[in-house]
Chains A and B, each alone.
Chain A
């Protein structure tokens, strides 16, 4: 089942209309909350997918997310900057950190890269916990809500539009990459790094691009996340969170760069809501779900509908 060419624009427009009017249709606030969180997560997951397709397997996606959240939280609570200033700064700050880190670890081969990402994930949480200036283990509270003039974003509907805007922006950013020569280079590296290098593609350079782009968008998402929940703590951004985020990717379909993350995030946010498991057994349940997905559902939901040929957006 493929969306044939001439149906594409109308269906995108239809989706657009639905998305714009959604808050007026859905009255359930909790459902809105889930949708907002899912869309913020999907941004981070898009970054994961971009990296994963270049054999940059990372387990510190949540750390970059957290970096954006903490930069934004810190700048707004301690320095009084508005959300609109914090947002780009969070993105740029995270991107800068990723740039420097990337220079060191991306050349080391994917094994080291993977292991360092796990180390980084742990260290990130530990370091934050020990830094009193950002509230230690208690985190940062009282993060101010975004405001335009006298209008303050409070309702779920308002935040929904913010999240929608940001997610769309990030989707456009990634789409711009994928449709350009950069995206072609990415695909080439994914299919055969040796061949790609032999035609002049600098694998390191293109991996850095994906890495930094993923960090930038994750930072943006983290910033909005912080200003939505108005409270952030170190434990939110550990390795397990990274793992869950990457499972979002797997559930959506790892070769679907933009729709995969979105679908996966929505499914994995919504489904647990309807399955109430007692706290004690929850990690066991989660662990089992992860293993089952890895063993039986690795092609993801979208993989059932469309045979991915790396064109999937």
Chain B
């Protein structure tokens, strides 16, 4: 029996201008629940800007971002995160002086239900929640394969682990939509495949994934559907096979290749 698949995230006519330069124009997208959706495009296409606008780090110029039926386009970053839209960062963004464990712990902030006063007074419910968070943090580190590193300071980790930690922190918020910004950037093929498996594991744990990537191997292995961005506009969308054959896509990448900017 097939029902109408409900789109978890609907982006309608989204645009972002910077002083006359249109970084994103009339972008539309639907991401279905539990899908792994990729966004690719040549350098400068506007992928990270798109991520920033969807997650709230940059204000949109026009359009809507509808998440679970609610238009969140005017909400601040933390409100979107509270509703379940969480992103990881392309450049390493961690809490440098905190340990891996503490980094992951902070991510669980969202699940605190006790009010401020309760927390200040260290009521029983606050303490109970802290215990639960501690437990969940340990489980999460286990899941992400970071348990052995839990006492290390984040700033001392090697690059690959830092990236994993970044995703771990985002995952700690128990997002409905996890936005990964170039999760395998800078990784060798083995690390890449490990990350791919990890991402699949995450999805299997009930998380919808939207990701931006350059690495076509990762994209091919992960994404059910892919949207292609060029100069801020969507030029193709579909499965890997479908877009591989699209003329526009080839032109976009080829053009950049000839130009030398790919």
A and B: direct contact (Cβ < 8 Å)? yes
Instruction: List A residues at the B interface (Cβ < 8 Å).
Output: 176-177, 179-182, 184-185, 187-188, 191-192, 194-203, 209, 309-310
Question: Chain A: which residue is nearest B112 at the CB level?
Answer: A181
Contacts of A200 in B (CB 8 A): 78, 81-82, 86, 109-110, 173
Please tell me if the beta carbons of B120 and A199 are within 8 angstroms of each other in the complex: no
Question: Chain B: which residue is nearest A184 at the CB level?
Answer: B106
Which stretch in B40-48, B91-99, B203-211 binds the other chain?
A: B91-99
Contacts of A191 in B (CB 8 A): 94-98
Please tell me if the beta carbons of B119 and A198 are within 8 angstroms of each other in the complex: no
B1 contacts the other chain (CB 8 A): no
B176-194 vs A, Cβ < 8 Å mask (1 yes, 0 no): 0000000000000000000
Please tell me if the beta carbons of B105 and A199 are within 8 angstroms of each other in the complex: no
Please tell me if the beta carbons of A199 and B109 are within 8 angstroms of each other in the complex: yes
Contacts of A195 in B (CB 8 A): 89, 93-95, 169
**28 chain-A/chain-B pairs, Cβ below 8 angstroms:** A176-B121, A176-B122, A179-B122, A181-B119, A181-B126, A181-B129, A182-B116, A187-B106, A188-B109, A191-B94, A191-B95, A191-B98, A192-B94, A192-B96, A194-B89, A194-B93, A195-B89, A198-B77, A198-B81, A199-B107, A199-B170, A200-B82, A200-B109, A200-B110, A202-B78, A202-B79, A203-B78, A310-B98
B50 contacts the other chain (CB 8 A): no
B141-173 vs A, Cβ < 8 Å mask (1 yes, 0 no): 000000000000100000000000000011011
Question: Chain B: which residue is nearest A202 at the CB level?
Answer: B78
B68 contacts the other chain (CB 8 A): no
* A-B interface, 3 closest residue pairs, ranked by CB to CB distance from nearest: A191-B95, A200-B81, A200-B110
Please tell me if the beta carbons of B97 and A310 are within 8 angstroms of each other in the complex: yes
Please tell me if the beta carbons of B121 and A196 are within 8 angstroms of each other in the complex: no
Instruction: Please report the C-alpha to C-alpha distance between residue A310 and residue B172 in the assembled complex, in whole angstroms.
Output: 22
Please tell me if the beta carbons of B97 and A184 are within 8 angstroms of each other in the complex: no
Interface residues of B in 111-128 (CB under 8 A from A): 112, 114, 116, 119-122, 126
Chain A interface main SS type? helix
Contacts of B77 in A (CB 8 A): 197-198
Please tell me if the beta carbons of A199 and B173 are within 8 angstroms of each other in the complex: yes
Contacts of B257 in A (CB 8 A): none
Contacts of B130 in A (CB 8 A): 181
Instruction: Please report the C-alpha to C-alpha distance between residue A176 and residue B173 in the assembled complex, in whole angstroms.
Output: 24
Instruction: Please report the C-alpha to C-alpha distance between residue A188 and residue B55 in the assembled complex, in whole angstroms.
Output: 19
Assuming A181-B130, A195-B94, is B116 touching A209 (CB within 8 A)? yes
B87 contacts the other chain (CB 8 A): yes
Instruction: Please report the C-alpha to C-alpha distance between residue A188 and residue B96 in the assembled complex, in whole angstroms.
Output: 10
Instruction: Please report the C-alpha to C-alpha distance between residue A191 and residue B93 in the assembled complex, in whole angstroms.
Output: 10
Contacts of A310 in B (CB 8 A): 97-98
Question: Chain A: which residue is nearest B119 at the CB level?
Answer: A180
- Which of A177, A184, A209 has the most CB atoms of chain B within a 10 A radius of its CB? A184
Contacts of B116 in A (CB 8 A): 182, 209
Instruction: Please report the C-alpha to C-alpha distance between residue A209 and residue B186 in the assembled complex, in whole angstroms.
Output: 40
CB distance from B78 to the nearest CB of A (A): 5
CB distance from A217 to the nearest CB of B (A): 13
Please tell me if the beta carbons of B95 and A309 are within 8 angstroms of each other in the complex: no
CB distance from B176 to the nearest CB of A (A): 13
Instruction: List B residues at the A interface (Cβ < 8 Å).
Output: 55, 57, 76-79, 81-82, 86-87, 89, 93-98, 105-107, 109-110, 112, 114, 116, 119-122, 126, 129-130, 153, 169-170, 172-173
Instruction: Please report the C-alpha to C-alpha distance between residue A47 and residue B80 in the assembled complex, in whole angstroms.
Output: 31
14 additional A-B pairs beyond A181-B126, A184-B105, beta carbons within 8 Å, are A177-B120, A180-B119, A182-B116, A191-B97, A192-B95, A195-B93, A196-B106, A198-B55, A198-B81, A198-B87, A199-B109, A199-B173, A202-B76, A310-B98
Contact pick for A309, options B97, B106, B110, B173, CB 8 Å? B97
- Which of A182, A202, A203 has the most CB atoms of chain B within a 10 A radius of its CB? A202
Contacts of A176 in B (CB 8 A): 120-122
Question: Chain B: which residue is nearest A213 at the CB level?
Answer: B120
CB distance from A128 to the nearest CB of B (A): 32
CB distance from B108 to the nearest CB of A (A): 8
Contacts of A196 in B (CB 8 A): 106
Instruction: Please report the C-alpha to C-alpha distance between residue A176 and residue B122 in the assembled complex, in whole angstroms.
Output: 8
Contacts of B170 in A (CB 8 A): 198-199
Please tell me if the beta carbons of A180 and B57 are within 8 angstroms of each other in the complex: no
Please tell me if the beta carbons of A192 and B93 are within 8 angstroms of each other in the complex: yes
Contacts of B93 in A (CB 8 A): 192, 194-195
Please tell me if the beta carbons of A201 and B109 are within 8 angstroms of each other in the complex: yes
Instruction: Please report the C-alpha to C-alpha distance between residue A46 and residue B32 in the assembled complex, in whole angstroms.
Output: 50
Instruction: Please report the C-alpha to C-alpha distance between residue A202 and residue B112 in the assembled complex, in whole angstroms.
Output: 13
CB distance from B96 to the nearest CB of A (A): 6
CB distance from B186 to the nearest CB of A (A): 19
Please tell me if the beta carbons of A182 and B119 are within 8 angstroms of each other in the complex: yes
Contact pick for A199, options B97, B114, B126, B169, CB 8 Å? B169
Instruction: Please report the C-alpha to C-alpha distance between residue A195 and residue B112 in the assembled complex, in whole angstroms.
Output: 17
CB distance from B126 to the nearest CB of A (A): 7
Assuming A188-B106, A191-B98, is B78 touching A201 (CB within 8 A)? yes
Contact pick for A180, options B82, B107, B126, CB 8 Å? B126
